[in-house]
Amino acid sequence: MTTLAIDIGGTKLAAALVDSDLQIRDRRELPTPASKTPDALRAALKALVEPLQTQATHVAIASTGIIRDGVLLAINPLNLGGLVHFPLVQTLNDLTGLPTMAVNDAQAAAWAEYRALADEISDMAFITVSTGVGGGVVSNGKLLTGSGGLAGHLGHTLADPHGPLCGCGRVGCVEAIASGRGIAAAARDDLAGCDAKTIFVRAAQRHEQAMRLVAHSAAVVARLIADVKATTDCQCVVIGGSVGLAEGYLVLVESYLAQAPLAYHVKLQAAHYRHDAGLLGAALLAQGE
Ligand code: ADP
Ligand code: BMX
Ligand code: ZN
């Protein structure tokens, strides 16, 4: 049984073959198309899967957005260039002729990371700090998806009532401040127009504004983690995404969380599967594991 696993993010698309023993082969990446029309996304997905599909028995997709009845719905359409509705499962089924399933990217990653934890852990949360801020919660050994797929969308909880407008329509969401997009949007003067990756490079060079932007993101994520601890009493929180996994970021989040009262403290760790947690989680869920 070989899964063709696909991860659809706001910045990049990834695909790989995943064997039953969770070995990853032939991993490929493409940027998420800049003009995110349904046709552009379909064409990019076609280019991504064509070289892999003959070797797979089925397709498993981890995608940004809410997946309902196989359709990708955006809670924050800005993360998908305005795309709010995309027939994801049907598209991959048409492209490959293979049985296809899809799940939210952070929920998928949460499942893979939960499975990589010690057996005594029954309650955990996964947070991706990436284009957006996504989340997945495992409670008493079960992945929470909710009645309509919205469960775990931690990035759309309130960070600052006076903060920026989020693409989801609310004001001051965690995502609007702490995500890669949020960090870039807050940059001013010589950093205006820079992406989060560049801002992290400048922060490492001790650029004052860049350090402040990174620290603000980390402080907001630390407060989110305290809220998640209060809501779920999780035993650990796993952090992923390119911002979350950037050098020095987790240590910063830990230092802010340490300032919260003891009841909110929880063990933090970087994603065991790094940038492949979504791919592997989708494969595990498709394989019924
Ligand atoms: P996706 O959201 O598509 O899953 P990523 O997890 O790579 O993709 O997140 C993309 C965001 O991470 C962008 O805002 C990008 O600028 C930022 N980013 C990418 N690489 C780094 C890095 N090395 N350090 C900090 N931020 C990064
Ligand atoms: C947004 C939302 C979530 C997603 C999260 C992380 C959309 C399109 N996406 O909050 O479903 O899990 O971003 O996505 O509404 P990523 O692209 O940063 O990995
Ligand atoms: Zn929001």
Model pLDDT for residues 223-234, shown as the tens digit of each residue: 999 999 999 999
Tokens of 181: 């997009």
Residue of the nearest CA to atom 22 in ligand 1? 197
Which atom of ligand 1 is least distant from the CA of 201? 24
Tokens of 241: 């995404």
**What is the whole-number distance in angstroms between the Cα of residue 63 and the centre of ligand 2?**
8
Residues of the chain with pLDDT under 70: 36
pLDDT tens digits along 38-86: 999 999 999 999 999 999 999 999 999 999 999 999 999 888 877 889 9
What pLDDT score does 36 carry? 67
**What is the whole-number distance in angstroms between the Cα of residue 124 and the centre of ligand 1?**
23
What pLDDT score does 49 carry? 97
Q: CB within 8 A of 40, min separation 6: which ones?
A: 33, 34
Ligand-binding site membership of 148 (annotated)? no
What pLDDT score does 14 carry? 98
What pLDDT score does 40 carry? 92
Tokens of 247: 């050098």
| 152 in contact with ligand 2, CB cutoff 6 A | no
What pLDDT score does 35 carry? 73
- Cα torsion 266, 270, 272, 275 to 10°: value is 140
What pLDDT score does 265 carry? 98
What pLDDT score does 82 carry? 76
Tokens 């949460």, residue? 110
Which atom of ligand 1 is least distant from the CA of 242? 6
Model pTM above 0.85: yes
